[in-house]
Structure 1
Amino acid sequence: MSRRTSRTALDTLRTPGRIPGFLKTASICALIAGLLSPLSQTAAAAEVTAANDYCGNQCSDILPPGQNGNATLAQILLNQAFGTQPAHAADQLGPYANLAKGHTTLTNATINTFFNDASFGVPADQVASTVKPAGRGDVTIVRDKKTGVPHITGTTRYGTEFGAGYAAAEDRLWLMDVFRHVGRGQLTSFAGGDPSNQGLEQQFWRHAPYTEADLQAQIDNAIATNGARGQQALADANAYLAGINAYIDASDSGRYFPGEYVLTGHKDSITNAGSIAHFKITDLVALGSVIGALFGSGGGGEVNNAISLLAAQEKYGAEQGTAVWESFRERNDPEAVMTLHDGKSFPYAVRPEDPQGEALPDPGSVVAEPLVYDRTGSAVGTSATGASTTAARTAVSSARRGMSNALVVSGDHTASGHPVAVFGPQTGYFAPQLLLLQELQGPGISARGASFAGLSMYVELGRGQDYAWSATTSGQDIIDTYAVELCQDDVHYLYRGTCTPMEKVEQKNAWKPTTADGTAAGSYTMRAWRTKYGPVEYRATVGGKKVAYTTLRSSFLHEADSIIGFQMLNDPDHVKGPESFQSAVQHINYTFNWFYADSEHTAYYNSGDNPVRAGGVDAEFPVWAQPAYEWRNWDPTTNTAAYTPASQHPNSIDQDYYISWNNKQAKDYATAPWGNGSVHRGNLLEDRVKKLVQAGGVTRASLTKAMADAALADLRAQDVLPDLLKVVNSSPVTDTTASAAVAKLQTWLAAGGRRTETTAGSKTYADADAIRILDAWWPLLVKAEFEPGLGTALYTAMTNNLPIDETPSAAHGPTGAHAGSAFQYGWWSYVDKDIRAVLGEPVQGALGRKYCGGGALSACRDLLLTTLKEAAGRTAAQVYPGDTLCAAGNQWCADSIVQRTLGGIKHGNISWQNRPTYQQVVEFTSHR
């Protein structure tokens, strides 16, 4: 198979069930047989000692689809042709999926039917293989029979980290290679010209348009500013890289490297010509910039906020328009569910009484900065202006930053007297998964859990000897927009009174021919203009002056800094209780909510470099790029500033319980995303956990059941539909179509308002008609309820800030179809507040006016009935139009979760659950 016929990109692999065209021959079986590699590992009966494990066999975890994320060419061809799965590629997917129906009868004894035993070590009868990577005598990698997870034990620190790198490459080499190229904006050159490759690299490179010098500077700065721990981190990273590269060399010479290298033309399957580039330390920073962009950098969107504010002021006048805008923004909503419910205030980014320095654009002047240029130097795709284009991009990135949950209960309310936690990050569903599992035991390191592939020199989310920790994305605002006044031309700007040239950073991409005759070669260039105040994102005028709007992020040029916090979390000599846990995560500059549990205590801390803003600056809107409005003590050379002290970050020890589903952190912590008000998916956890705590005797099983029940809930049904039906039923419903629809909705609501199968594996929903009706009704009722009062222009601007719907099947929603995560972004809070106001019920943080039917109950009822009748008439095929995976009208399939292929192996879709990807269930029985 030549490189010319191997095609170019992941495009031949992405579509489930699609076999690459060059493989559709009668000789496929012969080809597979000729490619089967002589892989072998040394089996051993030696037991890995469970070092200082205080969990008492009560720690469990799960990470679908499976630990093995590498596949040889032969394995890929078998999977493409016959659906065959390599060992441990999908063995965690079934147990994960089965919890959806199996949770109702869950007991502590059956938890590991749906999770893995996360105890340290491997019992002797469960050892599948033992290897000493590269023949080293100071490290051993033992894999267990059930999951194939590597348990890495080193007698030296170097050996431990070498083993971590070797095992990571064994499990995720191709994925690691993909994402080091994504982080540099080079995926298309690496994997071909497929549009999805281009979209992926463009999204992340826009966020972090770094040069190689920038990547190296991050390493140098992180090491230089962190003393002995910084030096240790550098040594750990270099050992980790040596392990990765040792595996690359071994797999290359043994010809068992991932088959994607052949399919993308980097290796020849017959001659073995070609090479796999060794990893270097700047690759780790490139990988880190992608993870930071996905999950750890909240805020931004100030220009889009300004556009919607101007629309509100145009509609209602300055004073009332501002009040209307603020009511929809819900930046500090009094009805929002909070992680810290003890009443303590943590003011941050609150609205100033007298805003200073605002630089709102002239109406209609905003144009998105071009990113992509063709080979002639012409900008590509730059016709869109204003809110509509940029909001879509903002919504996508925001949604990807917000998919995790946590349930933690103090020992005062558990059956055992020990805290119980069920928590984990939602990192999406991919094949292979972005995360991998591992256990690390060595000098100064003792942990088991999940880490991002390519960054697994430490466990990032998991458990230590007598404690466990996890995170949810917090999304607080660490990104601000500055209006830099242009001078001389469009690439010079005023910096503290001096006309200064912008820095042009470019990344060129070119890919090989995609057809046999070699005519489909392509190329394009990404270009970013950087200023002292960050990269340019938009152009506009303000008061007639030409400006560039730039985006300044506190973690820009500092993605590597967080390595110190993760190092501390893995160090048993550092984390010995809740206070030392908090001191560790304070070193993580990504915006995360961190949760902790040991046998005696629970704790919470909100991390991130929160900049200290100048007095009077409103973080919601662009401000002038002038010294008076800069972050305090800001140094543009290093992008460092004064940051709020740890005591001002929401934090707590031993609250009765904690819940988090990307909801508001604490009172007056006014950085929540749009729509974080009276109805938020965090309520689904709050209601269930609060009830358990009030009853007492919480167990691992009961807390897991609460999580799983919330994971099947339709938020609209449980928290908004009851009030909608109050309005509809305020008078008898005489229309037969509407009456039948109401009856179906009421029956579904009485059954719990969940989206769940009739029986396990049926692929058919109970109350399917009611679910279809609500899915069809919601967008109709929202538009009918709000557009007449807001007017089309303002309604459109507001929907650009916040999409109206994010059901599991809402392909138009921020997370897209088949992504699992749902009900984070939508107008549920707005509808709830408005309908309650129309009903005459008390509303805190009301919208300022009534919208449904102009505020009249009878008119609101007529509006709801009209749209309900229309929704009831929509067929399943209209509501669920189908895609490459699902036939039109297949409701279950439309909701289902798909492991999105990032390599050659595909998996079947599973029933929808709104839960973390990686998840732990823990209850420690003792403490050091």
Structure 2
Amino acid sequence: MRRISGGIILLLAVSLAWSQVQRIELTVRREKVTIVRDSYGVPHVLANSLYGLFYGNGYAIAQDRLWQMERYRRQARGELAEIMGPSALEQDKAARIQGYTEEEMQRQIARLAPELQEALKGYVDGVNAWIEEAKRAGKLPPGYAETGIEPRPWRATDTVAIGVMMSRRFGGLMAAGDLRNYTLLQYLRLRNKENAEVWANDLLWLQDPNSPTTVPPEDDLRKAHRVDPKAALERFKRHAAQLPNIGLEVLLPTLRLASGEAQREFAQRHGLYTHFGSYAIAIAPKRSATGNALFVGAPQMGFSLPHIAAEVHLSGAGINALGMCFPGILGVLIGANDYLAWTFTSGVADFADAFIEKLSPDNPEEYWYKGKWVPFEKRTETIRVKGQDPVQLTIYRSVHGPVVAIDRHNNVAIAWSLSFWDKELEAINAYYGILRARSVADFERACSHIVASFNAFCATRAGDIAYFYCGRPPIRADGVDPRLPVWGTGEYDWKGIMPFEQMPRVINPKRGFIVNWNNKPAVWWENGDTPAWGAIFRVHRLIELATRKPLLTLDDVKAMIVDIAMYDEDAALLKPAMLAIVKRNLNLTPEMQQAIRVLAAWDNYEREGSTGKVIWDAWLDAVRNRVFGDDLGNFFDPNLFRLAIQPSYILYALQGSKAVVPRLFDYFNGKPKEQVLAIALADALTQLKQRYGANMSHWRYSAPRMNWDRLPGVPYTDRGSYIQVIELSNPIVGENVLPPGQSEDPNSPHFSDQRDLASWWLFKPMVLDPGRWER
């Protein structure tokens, strides 16, 4: 009753508070721009012109998040060390090496259509108007005084830099997969040269035709195929044999740079975005109890303070859209307009390759390309470092992209090539098109401009639901194994880009719903350089929940969100196989038998206090170590080892020759599987007794929390950082939540006023009607 009564109180608070609004009016180019803030501080911007609308957008978000915007632009440009000292130097170097010059970003802006340049100018001018007003009124965020700087004027290229950073972080996640794989291979060669390629080939499987897909197989004209692991191994060996023997002392720091690991670590330490995930649910009218499409968008970007995103409503100049935005970037990125709702999830496609450049023995600033020595592009940049002398950084680029490493021993350089290099700003065309979209066809045209790897989803008031896999997949040279780097001498250059029209998509699938949780797009799409998609994947649960009832309500959809946050999909799909095998062991101790009974009775929910969840997690880790650790080692990092030895990989090993993706190496080393699993269970129980004591009933699970400084944590983090739940009725009805709140100011009432909503799995209304905010 406590949970129910608390929820009712919060709902009443949400309902009663909507009369509490704040209103300001700005005069912009002789036009009135109105910004109305609702009871949660969300700005509703009303204007007649495109310039005025985005002026209000920039002004309002700068009011809420100016210091966050300052940190974002410095992070994107590689200028954080100027205010944070040498701790930010590694991240700044990475940003400079992989980023664009001021002139290159200006050229991207110049390629935009005039109306989009006008919108961008409006946003920039609005941000600067607030900066000047805040300076005059003494309202600058305290971060400026604490770091001893004044805010410089906002530039259009600041917005571009942040957009590039976000596109790559969430849409270029596998940007160093082949380099990571080569590093893995070199590590495995040090452990066992004879088996290294076999182990790597097993770890990096290319295709599981049974992995759950976003495009239902019955709606896909292309069919699933299998990849023979033995043939894949031979190709892998041939490719690997051609590569230079680059040492781990070169590869490990290179991987940190190319993968963005240095930037992610810094972001995690300093409360910037660190996470990716995201799920989407679209229910067609024929599966909806009301006859209207239902829709959920839930990007998973971590839980920072302030939130990585903010919320804004833009109404005017042919636009009426409300939803999530990134501070520093104009427009609504995920949300709804009068005709449709939309969202995105990370696509996890392989859009980047490492090219190994052969250096001239006479001039290390030249490389061999298409039959001649070619000079690298070269520039030197200065990084200001607080409390220290400036640092000079020399940056090289080849025809393939930025140079991320130079190996003098092998006389080679490694260049990082991105299929959407210099094209990130095209996404503005997409988001602008979506703001005005009225149909699936409009949404599809807009999505064709998305260059990074994203899954795009929409549901319309007309009753359509749709999915499009977006981005620019490179077409690689014949014979190349996509799991490894290639030589940059010219013969292995990309042959082109896959057309958007040929990529996975589905409109109004037969089963009446679309769900995605970063899973495989279609049965015929391969893993590429990252074994992301296997037999066990979390989207199974969404598919199961969507098919339980013939007709779904909005409350059913909300219940799905809560369910998947608490459900252990890995346990649901892997535990039966592990229990069936270990029960064959006739020498189980009474303690092991008790643990097996607890595991069998456990319903796979990660509830607070669950004993089954604690035993499962410990046993799964012990199985990893006992089955694979003796051969593969721990990859220098137990967390990395845990990530590499996925549940799908364990299942394939347990299934042996019957697996859809059979292993070519016996990781049980001839021992009975039931014996090894029992030993692993004993390991787990020993560890748990040391931690919790001998009484198994005292072993209690504690769910991870959304933790914010100064605020109490909220349990269950496997949820959207921002969540919107929408019924595509006429008019559209929606709810959302963006915890902890809209403002970055701890003294603001909107600093944490959505924290309790998230705690109770509640939402606030999305009010799209501009008349609600007009006088």
Match of 1:210 among 100, 122, 129: 100
Alignment-derived partner of residue 257 in structure 1? 140
Gap change, CA 1:828 and 1:442, over 3 Å in 2:
same
Equivalent residues in 2 for 1:7-86, closer than 5 Å: none
The answer as to whether partners of 1:685 and 1:710 remain within 8 angstroms in 2 is yes
Whether 1:361 aligns to 2:243 is yes
Three-state SS of the structure 1 residue aligned to 2:707 is coil
Alignment-derived partner of residue 471 in structure 1? 344
Whether 1:304 aligns to 2:180 is yes
Letter of the aligned partner of 2:77 in structure 1?
Answer: R
Gap change, CA 1:560 and 1:159, over 3 Å in 2:
same
Letter of the aligned partner of 2:591 in structure 1?
Answer: T
**C-alpha displacement at 1:448, in angstroms?**
0.5
Alignment-derived partner of residue 628 in structure 2? 786
The answer as to whether partners of 1:333 and 1:678 remain within 8 angstroms in 2 is yes
Equivalent residues in 2 for 1:274-313, closer than 5 Å: 275-299=150-174, 300-309=176-185
Letter of the aligned partner of 1:285 in structure 2?
Answer: V
Whether 1:611 aligns to 2:474 is yes
Q: What is the distance in 1 between the residues matched to 2:17 and 2:180?
A: 59
**C-alpha displacement at 1:309, in angstroms?**
4.4
Alignment-derived partner of residue 118 in structure 2? 235
Alignment-derived partner of residue 410 in structure 1? 284
Gap change, CA 1:365 and 1:446, over 3 Å in 2:
same
Three-state SS of the structure 1 residue aligned to 2:301 is coil
Match of 1:339 among 210, 214, 227: 214
**C-alpha displacement at 1:460, in angstroms?**
0.9
Alignment-derived partner of residue 25 in structure 2? 132
The answer as to whether partners of 1:183 and 1:287 remain within 8 angstroms in 2 is yes
Q: Deviations over 1:211-235 (max 9, x none)?
A: 2222212212x32xxxxxx111101
Equivalent residues in 2 for 1:474-493, closer than 5 Å: 474-487=347-360, 488-493=362-367
Whether 1:678 aligns to 2:566 is no
Whether 1:766 aligns to 2:609 is yes
Q: Deviations over 1:657-690 (max 9, x none)?
A: 222111111122113632421112222322322x
Equivalent residues in 2 for 1:153-552, closer than 5 Å: 153-189=46-82, 191-193=83-85, 195=87, 197-198=88-89, 200-206=91-97, 208-220=98-110, 222-223=111-112, 230-266=113-149, 275-299=150-174, 300-309=176-185, 324-343=199-218, 344=220, 360-365=242-247, 367-368=249-250, 393=261, 402-456=276-330, 458-487=331-360, 488-513=362-387, 521=388, 523-540=390-407, 546-552=411-417
Three-state SS of the structure 1 residue aligned to 2:217 is coil
Gap change, CA 1:188 and 1:242, over 3 Å in 2:
same
Between the two proteins, what is the percent identity of the paired residues? 22
**C-alpha displacement at 1:591, in angstroms?**
0.9
Gap change, CA 1:347 and 1:434, over 3 Å in 2:
farther
**C-alpha displacement at 1:874, in angstroms?**
3.4
Alignment-derived partner of residue 803 in structure 1? 640
Letter of the aligned partner of 1:329 in structure 2?
Answer: L
Alignment-derived partner of residue 739 in structure 2? none
The answer as to whether partners of 2:209 and 2:225 remain within 8 angstroms in 1 is no
Match of 2:37 among 112, 122, 143: 143
Q: Deviations over 1:763-811 (max 9, x none)?
A: xx222x44333333333220111134xx24xx455x88993436xxxxx
Q: What is the distance in 2 between the residues matched to 1:512 and 1:877?
A: 49
Letter of the aligned partner of 1:277 in structure 2?
Answer: R
Whether 1:721 aligns to 2:575 is yes
Gap change, CA 1:621 and 1:786, over 3 Å in 2:
same
Q: Deviations over 1:508-566 (max 9, x none)?
A: 333444xxxxxxx465455432211111223458xx95221211002222221211011
Q: What is the distance in 2 between the residues matched to 1:389 and 1:291?
A: 16
Three-state SS of the structure 2 residue aligned to 1:530 is strand
Q: What is the distance in 1 between the residues matched to 2:588 and 2:23?
A: 72
Q: What is the distance in 2 between the residues matched to 1:439 and 1:669?
A: 37
Q: What is the distance in 1 between the residues matched to 2:38 and 2:662?
A: 56
Q: Deviations over 1:819-870 (max 9, x none)?
A: xxxxxx7521111222233xx8x42112234423636234334433332333
Q: What is the distance in 2 between the residues matched to 1:183 and 1:359?
A: 38
Match of 1:871 among 663, 673, 687: 687
For normalisation by structure 2, the TM-score amounts to 0.83
**C-alpha displacement at 1:450, in angstroms?**
0.6
Match of 1:754 among 592, 605, 619: 605
**C-alpha displacement at 1:891, in angstroms?**
6.3
Q: What is the distance in 1 between the residues matched to 2:392 and 2:716?
A: 39
Q: What is the distance in 2 between the residues matched to 1:143 and 1:784?
A: 57
The answer as to whether partners of 2:458 and 2:465 remain within 8 angstroms in 1 is yes
Q: Deviations over 1:738-787 (max 9, x none)?
A: 3343343334x2xx22223xxxxxxxx222x4433333333322011113
Q: What is the distance in 2 between the residues matched to 1:755 and 1:390?
A: 35
Q: What is the distance in 2 between the residues matched to 1:216 and 1:143?
A: 34
Alignment-derived partner of residue 447 in structure 2? 585
Whether 1:567 aligns to 2:432 is yes
**C-alpha displacement at 1:279, in angstroms?**
0.5
**C-alpha displacement at 1:579, in angstroms?**
1.9
Q: What is the distance in 2 between the residues matched to 1:490 and 1:877?
A: 62
Q: Deviations over 1:112-146 (max 9, x none)?
A: 949989xxxxx99625111113576421101112x
Three-state SS of the structure 2 residue aligned to 1:412 is helix
Q: What is the distance in 1 between the residues matched to 2:671 and 2:438?
A: 57
Q: What is the distance in 2 between the residues matched to 1:347 and 1:499?
A: 45
Letter of the aligned partner of 1:282 in structure 2?
Answer: T
The answer as to whether partners of 2:85 and 2:385 remain within 8 angstroms in 1 is yes
Q: Deviations over 1:420-439 (max 9, x none)?
A: 11222112211111211011
Name the Cα RMSD after superposition.
Answer: 3.8
Q: What is the distance in 1 between the residues matched to 2:132 and 2:344?
A: 35
Count of residues paired in the alignment: 708
The answer as to whether partners of 2:186 and 2:247 remain within 8 angstroms in 1 is no
The answer as to whether partners of 2:366 and 2:374 remain within 8 angstroms in 1 is yes
Three-state SS of the structure 1 residue aligned to 2:497 is coil
Compare 856-865 and 424-433 and name the one that shifted more. 856-865
Gap change, CA 1:170 and 1:927, over 3 Å in 2:
closer
Q: Deviations over 1:416-468 (max 9, x none)?
A: 22221122211221111121101101113221101111102x11110010210
Whether 1:662 aligns to 2:533 is no
**C-alpha displacement at 1:503, in angstroms?**
3.0
Whether 1:831 aligns to 2:721 is no
Q: What is the distance in 2 between the residues matched to 1:303 and 1:497?
A: 25
Alignment-derived partner of residue 919 in structure 1? 723
Q: What is the distance in 2 between the residues matched to 1:115 and 1:620?
A: 54
Match of 1:892 among 699, 702, 723: 702
Q: What is the distance in 2 between the residues matched to 1:649 and 1:919?
A: 27
Three-state SS of the structure 2 residue aligned to 1:908 is strand
Q: What is the distance in 2 between the residues matched to 1:826 and 1:112?
A: 43
Three-state SS of the structure 1 residue aligned to 2:717 is coil
Gap change, CA 1:126 and 1:453, over 3 Å in 2:
same
Letter of the aligned partner of 1:301 in structure 2?
Answer: G
